[in-house]
Chains A and B, each alone.
Chain A
């Protein structure tokens, strides 16, 4: 079974600074995707960034980038120039393809607080 571990329950960063959220996962599969989702207090889960395991190049979406280390099974999220609107729970998620289904397995989340 796949597991996703987020070892930082809470983090705080000042506005305009950079913060990195950690995620490790465990799988024996070779074909999978990794995601970071953001869940603000409004509770809607918002897709932040996606990484395909077969791609060596790290994904980037504006201020968000990942450091994907496949051998170490590590997938961290870096948020640059943090903004107050980045305050949210951040979930790391692993997608595998069991049979025909594409199932997401989530970590327990990191609560990020951006302060003035």
Chain B
């Protein structure tokens, strides 16, 4: 059974650019959630996708958007990057409302 995978591992972008992060969910899971973890903090919920639709969103601006594909993999897109977007981005998959299993994360640095 393959766990949750994320790509890339690390990414460096310039302020104002756009970035796409990718996540493959664990086998048998149909729900993907994205979290942002700033240094020294707990993760913050960005949004959740179920059956290819966003079904919940945290306190993040619209420039944070996502997609879920028929194979349940997902993308997180961030437009107009700001310095404060520098963080570890975590993807978690689950079978609907069951416990969430996390991927290794993508470290994004915005300069």
Number of interface residues of A (CB under 8 A): 27
B45 touches A103 (CB 8 A): yes
Number of A-B contacts (CB under 8 A): 70
A47 touches B43 (CB 8 A): no
Q: Does A104 contact B (CB under 8 A)?
A: yes
Q: How far is the CA of A111 from the CA of B19 in the complex (A)?
A: 31
Number of interface residues of B (CB under 8 A): 29
Measured between beta carbons, the chain B residues less than 8 angstroms from A20 are none
**B29-54 CB contact bits vs A (8 Å, 1 = yes)?**
00101010000011111001010000
A47 touches B99 (CB 8 A): yes
Stretch with Cβ within 8 A of B (4 or more), from A11-19, A63-71, A72-80, A92-100: A92-100
A100 touches B45 (CB 8 A): no
Measured between beta carbons, the chain A residues less than 8 angstroms from B72 are none
Residues of A within 8 A of B (CB): 4, 33, 35, 37, 42-47, 50, 91, 93, 95, 97-109
Residues of B within 8 A of A (CB): 31, 33, 35, 41-45, 48, 50, 55-58, 88, 90, 92, 94, 96-105, 107
